Amino acid sequence: MARIQKKGKAGAAKNYITRTRAVKKLQISLPDFRRLCIFKGIYPREPRKKKTVSKGSTAATTFYYTKDIQYLLHEPLLAKFREHKAVAKKIARALGRGESGDAARLERNLVPKIKLDHIIKERYPTFVDALRDLDDALSMLFLFANLPSSEHVPAKTIALCQKLCHEFEHYVIVSHSLRRSFLSIKGIYYQATIQGQDVLWLVPYRFVQRTGGDIDFRIMGTFVEFYTTLLGFVNYRLYTSVGLVYPPKFNANMDAQGAELSAFQIEGKSVSTNGERLHGEVSAAATSEAQEVADRIANVPDAEEDQPENLPVAQDDEEENTETIDKFEAVAPDADVLPQPEASSAEAASLFAPYTFYLARETPRAPLEFILKAFGCKRVGWDATLGEGAFTTNESDPFITHQIIDRTPLPADAAEAIDGGGAAPRVQWPRSTMPGRIYVQPQWVWDCINQGKLLRPDLYGPGAELPPHLSPWMKPKKGEYDPKLPLHEQELEGEAEAFEEDDESASEMEVTDDVEDARDAMERESSVEAGEGMHVASSDDEEDEDDDGGDQRPAVEDEWEGFDSDAESDISEGEAARLQHQRELEAEATGNPLEPEVETARSKNAVVRKKVEKKRKEQAEERERQKMMLSNKKRKLLKRIEYGSNKRDAEAENLRRKKRRLDRTSSNKGAV
């Protein structure tokens, strides 16, 4: 006879363990348990049958996999945590005795140093695995790099995050792996393609951060400790893959003066004729040999064959443009949108390469410098107040081709006041613009890199109304509103005519209301005497009112024809036929030819709208007849599908209506 299985000894009850039991089993404190779980990537689990696992208890309990806790029993960090706890007891005992010197000596010599190298190797056995998990690491480190130092976030941690982030940005600049960027409310999104993996991270805007007391910086600090170790390994691997020395040399004096990226000096490795390695130190702000070597490595195709230097290479006309990327275009009008290939590193390196940029002092220097250098620009200057490391700080340098500004032009009266009296500013922009220089707003840079080409700079000029800045990761689906396409390509049949008719009727109602309000105001002014609060009618006025038969307002209404002079648009078809027949009889009696009726735009829209409504009504009736042949279950399913489709179509139509109204408003302003 088989042994009876006891309850709670097998199945789901054995596969899960509570957090309290896990802490007792590992014999560590709860903060150390949380820290260890973050390092090892172990998270709480939610069992399917929580009541069975908790043995009938309904209290809120956190569960973990039992095998995960058993896996933690062999972790070397447990011994480090216990050593740290023992040293902490000794330090506390020394402080209690007043022996501060002994406490400092114990903290300096006996506190164990925790290294996470073995955990990085366990969690990421291949380098591709580390790149796939780099999104959260970069977002967290860039966040801490912009935080102010406090008792929860020490300055040493912030400096380490800034150093690692700048090193990663230098690799992106050298390899030209940046592909897209987007300015959002949360911050600036960047996407780089590194060894075939898309890495997306978020960089917050630079403003004064006020950290509240409801944030648990201990848990965030644990993640930062793990991510700094991870990014250090990744940076080393990335630098060595493109022939650069890691870590790069760091100039603390330039960093103190706000150099940021320019405070790092890149060292490139090159091999001499004797086979000995030579180390060349070059500044990151200027053209460096290491960057040229890295560019050549990135641009060399995989199947390149070695050819003698003396032999000429014959290239046909068809093979001249082999580096350009083919674009896939749909042949059928209703076909799906094909995903287009992204720009290569060679195209990214040549986008801003031949130009020299100057950043005004009101522009965000750090993101603009990073993006411009990542897309080939090696000459970026800015105002001296923005920090060190600029290519030039002279705004009137003749070699500057583009100047990025973010301020509106001076009005005429302000410019005259500046010229007339008072001390004139050093740079009277835009009255002192340099000839031959292009002035654009910062959004021009982001839109150019997202579209992979240089856009028209006049659309982004000073004080110009900028085009919409759209997300480069947005992929419009069929039937949804696409802001990149014109309205006539995506609007439904009869939608434009319906909008015109509705807009005209709405404008007429507004004008009619304004006229009525003005008429009422005039009547009130004429009926109220100066200095009196109410009207006192005289006997003559009463006699005039009696003779006229009451109020004069109906007579005014009879004289006012309103704006609905085209009465035929609202009459029925029978009445229109009767009026047409009457015109024919009058023309026959007078002997004059019948003049053709002038068809107005409003009547045309009404005819088109009637046809579209009739067609839609027929389609709806046909659809209802088809539904009658379905079963009840399929009919309900189709109803849910139609509900979602109708909701999506209504949202798209509303967006198109807003776009059409904005276009009309802008056109009216341009006409004025």
When pLDDT is cut at 50, 70 and 90, the band that residue 584 belongs to is: confident
Q: How many residues does the chain have?
A: 672
* 33 and 68 Cβ atoms separated by less than 8 Å: no
Quick check: bond before 425 cis, omega within 30?
Answer: no
User: What pLDDT is stored for residue 334 in this prediction?
Assistant: 55
Read off the pLDDT of each residue in 501-515 and give the average, rounded to a whole number.
54
What percent of the chain is modeled with pLDDT above 70?
68
User: What pLDDT is stored for residue 546 in this prediction?
Assistant: 47
* β-bridge pairing 16-18 and 197-203: unpaired
What distance in Å separates the CA atoms of residue 430 and residue 407, rounded to the nearest whole number? 10
When pLDDT is cut at 50, 70 and 90, the band that residue 594 belongs to is: low
What top-level class would CATH report for the domain 350-411+429-472?
Answer: alpha beta
Which residues is 382 bridged to in the sheet? 359
Phi, psi torsion values for 191, nearest 5 degrees: -135, 125
What distance in Å separates the CA atoms of residue 221 and residue 143, rounded to the nearest whole number? 12
Phi, psi torsion values for 344, nearest 5 degrees: -80, 175
DSSP 8-state assignment for residue 244: B
Quote the strand ranges of 370-480, DSSP E.
Answer: 380-382, 402-404, 438-440
Cα–Cα–Cα angle for 620, 625, 630, nearest 5°? 120
Residues 472-493 pLDDT 10s: 988 777 767 777 777 766 766 6
- DSSP 3-state of 174: helix
When pLDDT is cut at 50, 70 and 90, the band that residue 188 belongs to is: very high
Task: Give every strand in the sheet of 249-250, ordered side by side.
Answer: 249-250, 264-271, 277-283
User: What pLDDT is stored for residue 505 in this prediction?
Assistant: 55
Q: Where are the alpha helices (DSSP H) in 528-592?
A: 539-548, 553-559, 573-590
Read off the pLDDT of each residue in 110-125 and give the average, rounded to a whole number.
92
When pLDDT is cut at 50, 70 and 90, the band that residue 288 belongs to is: very low
Which residues is 203 bridged to in the sheet? 188
Residue with tokens 């060595």: 240
Phi, psi torsion values for 136, nearest 5 degrees: -65, -35
Q: What is the CB neighbour count within 10 angstroms for residue 77?
A: 21
Element (H, E) at 201: strand 197-203
When pLDDT is cut at 50, 70 and 90, the band that residue 654 belongs to is: confident
User: What pLDDT is stored for residue 26 in this prediction?
Assistant: 93
Residue 313 has pLDDT above 60, yes or no: no
Q: What is the CB neighbour count within 10 angstroms for residue 158?
A: 18
With a threshold of 0.75, does the pTM exceed it? no
Residue 465 has pLDDT above 90, yes or no: no
* 389 and 260 Cβ atoms separated by less than 8 Å: yes
Residue 130 has pLDDT above 70, yes or no: yes
| Higher-confidence position of 147 and 344 | 147
Burial string for 233-266 (b: 16+ CB within 10 Å, else e) reads bbbeebbeebbbbeebeebeebbeeebbbbbbbb
Within 8 A by CB and 6+ apart from 461, the residues are 439, 440, 441
Residue 109 has pLDDT above 80, yes or no: yes
* 183 and 447 Cβ atoms separated by less than 8 Å: no
Low-confidence winner among 101-115, 131-145, 585-599 (lowest mean pLDDT): 585-599
User: What pLDDT is stored for residue 542 in this prediction?
Assistant: 46
Residue 83 has pLDDT above 70, yes or no: yes
What percent of the chain is modeled with pLDDT above 90?
35
Read off the pLDDT of each residue in 447-467 and give the average, rounded to a whole number.
90
User: What pLDDT is stored for residue 450 in this prediction?
Assistant: 92
When pLDDT is cut at 50, 70 and 90, the band that residue 326 belongs to is: low
Give the C-alpha distances (Å, rounded to integers) separating 112 from 79, 192, 219, 376, 672. 10, 38, 20, 46, 76
When pLDDT is cut at 50, 70 and 90, the band that residue 460 belongs to is: very high
CB-neighbour burial class of residue 565 (10 A; exposed 0-12, middle 13-18, buried 19+): exposed
User: What pLDDT is stored for residue 166 in this prediction?
Assistant: 95
User: What pLDDT is stored for residue 333 in this prediction?
Assistant: 57
The number of C-alpha atoms within 13 Å of 272 and in the hemisphere containing its C-beta is 6
Read off the pLDDT of each residue in 653-667 and give the average, rounded to a whole number.
78
DSSP 8-state assignment for residue 45: B
Phi, psi torsion values for 379, nearest 5 degrees: -130, 95
* 69 and 17 Cβ atoms separated by less than 8 Å: yes
User: Structural domain boundaries of the chain?
Assistant: 12-109, 117-298, 350-411+429-472, 493-509+610-672
What distance in Å separates the CA atoms of residue 372 and residue 351, rounded to the nearest whole number? 9
Residue 438 has pLDDT above 50, yes or no: yes
Nearest to 367 by CA among 153, 206, 199, 138: 206
- The tokens describing 451, both together, are 């579209």
User: What pLDDT is stored for residue 316 in this prediction?
Assistant: 40
Within 8 A by CB and 6+ apart from 418, the residues are 410, 424, 425, 428
Residue 122 has pLDDT above 90, yes or no: yes
Read off the pLDDT of each residue in 139-145 and give the average, rounded to a whole number.
95
Read off the pLDDT of each residue in 276-297 and give the average, rounded to a whole number.
42
User: What pLDDT is stored for residue 332 in this prediction?
Assistant: 59
- DSSP 3-state of 603: helix
* β-bridge pairing 249-250 and 197-203: unpaired
- The tokens describing 219, both together, are 């848990």
Residue 8 has pLDDT above 60, yes or no: yes
CA 6 to chain centre: 56
The number of C-alpha atoms within 13 Å of 12 and in the hemisphere containing its C-beta is 13
When pLDDT is cut at 50, 70 and 90, the band that residue 555 belongs to is: very low
- Average pLDDT over the chain, rounded to whole? 76
* 205 and 186 Cβ atoms separated by less than 8 Å: no
When pLDDT is cut at 50, 70 and 90, the band that residue 86 belongs to is: very high
Phi, psi torsion values for 260, nearest 5 degrees: 55, -105
Task: Give every strand in the sheet of 197-203, ordered side by side.
Answer: 178-183, 188-194, 197-203
What distance in Å separates the CA atoms of residue 599 and residue 607, rounded to the nearest whole number? 11
Residue 4 has pLDDT above 60, yes or no: yes
What distance in Å separates the CA atoms of residue 670 and residue 672, rounded to the nearest whole number? 5
| Higher-confidence position of 317 and 199 | 199
* 91 and 55 Cβ atoms separated by less than 8 Å: no
Residue 278 has pLDDT above 50, yes or no: no
What distance in Å separates the CA atoms of residue 513 and residue 301, rounded to the nearest whole number? 71
Where is mean pLDDT largest: 184-198, 384-398, 600-614?
184-198
Which residues is 45 bridged to in the sheet? 63
